[in-house]
């Protein structure tokens, strides 16, 4: 799974700008969830329309979930997980990610990753 650096930077900036932590976390969660369901859908070669038809919702609603504009109900999230044959943790980004492979990255890229990790530890 790829790390969405722009969403991480948005969370850090929003927190520093004084946005309430829960609101910033909700925005980050919806973005991560949307990225995950889109990535899985694309990996499986499915269209948004196919997903919408399978779980009984509209194409627009699936688009909104993938864009991070809204989050599905727990019932729809469970239907998505079952349809994609993954856990809800995987959809929410709570699964244990594989070890980060730094091979092929230059010094600046490694430093940028270290800065992101350090920002989360604060």
Residue 28 pLDDT: 65
Which long-range CB contacts under 8 A does 114-120 form with residues at least 24 apart? 116/3, 116/5, 116/8, 119/8, 119/12, 120/8
Tell me: pLDDT of 48 over 80.
Answer: yes
Averaged pLDDT of the chain: 78
Enter the tokens of residue 76.
Answer: 């729809």
- Residue 28 near residue 21, CB atoms below 8 Å: no
Confidence of residue 1 (pLDDT cuts 50, 70, 90): very low
Global confidence as pTM: 0.60
28-93 fold: 434 Repressor (Amino-terminal Domain) (1.10.260)
Asked if the model's pLDDT at residue 13 lies above 60, the reply is no
Find the mean pLDDT for residues 58-71: 92
Reduce the DSSP state of residue 1 to 3 states and report it: coil
What span, in angstroms and rounded, lies between the C-alpha atoms of 17 and 11?
A: 10
Give residue-wise pLDDT tens across range 76-100: 999 999 999 998 888 887 765 555 6
């Amino acid at each position: 799974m790829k790390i969405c650096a722009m969403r991480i930077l948005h969370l850090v900036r929003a927190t520093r700008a004084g946005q309430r932590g829960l609101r910033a976390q909700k925005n980050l969660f919806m973005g991560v969830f949307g990225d995950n369901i889109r990535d899985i859908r694309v990996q499986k070669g499915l269209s948004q329309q196919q997903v919408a038809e399978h779980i009984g919702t509209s194409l627009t609603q699936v688009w909104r979930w993938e864009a991070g504009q809204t989050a599905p109900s727990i019932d729809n999230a469970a239907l998505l997980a079952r349809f994609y044959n993954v856990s809800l943790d995987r959809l929410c980004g709570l699964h244990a990610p594989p070890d980060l492979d730094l091979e092929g990255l230059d010094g600046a890229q490694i430093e940028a990753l270290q800065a992101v990790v350090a920002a989360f530890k604060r």
